[in-house]
Amino acid sequence: MTKDFSSQRQQLIARLQQTGIHDERVLHALATIPRELFVDQSFQELAYANQALPLVLGQTISQPQMVAIMTQALQLSGRERVLEIGTGSGYQTAILARLSEFVYSIERHEELAVQASRRLGQLGIENVSLIVGDGSIGWNEEAPFDRILVTAAAPYIPDQLINQLSPGGLLVVPVGDQSQQELQVVQRLSEGTKTYSLGRCVFVPLIGEEGWRRE
């Protein structure tokens, strides 16, 4: 018998509202996307705990509060083309797909990409294009993007991602060393960029040409 997680999901939404998540579209997406589908079977009982959970290959599914903070920072109206760096489990991808016109997602681990694609298919989500590659350099062939979300820690704000933003577009990216980062929101202006921080965070490292060079 499949467990009903609806009450746990609603409790999580209430907790997120208490922490300052106010975007009703973001809250609705979080309330309707089944996180239990995206976590490892052995961690399903913790699907709606406000914590990150391990995935295969040393990766993680982000804490729901962090998913909400990052998604809210993107200021999505439903008309945006969004680039996601680090598909992971596909949970953040599903949230973005519900809130934007189209999502382009890059995952460097083929095993994770295949699993995420299957999960998105189970939910009938079709406005996502997913490839395996180096997300740190973006997806130049599909640029420009209205929004870019990086779900791994970069040592600096990648220039190639800034260059792939539309004028006025937003990039959300954790920047720092491999132990702790600042969650940066970058807006591309007609001349230069404007950046502010949403506070400290901890993510797995962004591996690639404009990220960390180690496996």
Q: What is the pLDDT of residues 48-59, one digit of tens each?
A: 998 989 888 888
- Cα separation, 4 vs 167, whole angstroms: 44
Q: Which fold has domain 6-201?
A: Rossmann fold (3.40.50)
**125 half-sphere exposure, CB direction, 13 A CA radius:** 29
Confidence of residue 1 (pLDDT cuts 50, 70, 90): very low
Q: Where are the domains of the chain?
A: 6-201
Tell me whether strands 53-54 and 81-85 are parallel, antiparallel or unpaired: unpaired
The pLDDT of residue 96 is 98
* Residue partners of 141: CB distance under 8 A and separation at least 6: none
pTM of the complete model: 0.94
Known catalytic residues are 62
With a cut of 90, say whether residue 6 has pLDDT above it: no
81 or 190: which carries more pLDDT confidence?
Answer: 81
Segment 89-134, tens digit of pLDDT: 999 999 999 999 999 999 999 999 999 999 999 999 999 999 999 9
Percent of the chain surpassing pLDDT 70: 98
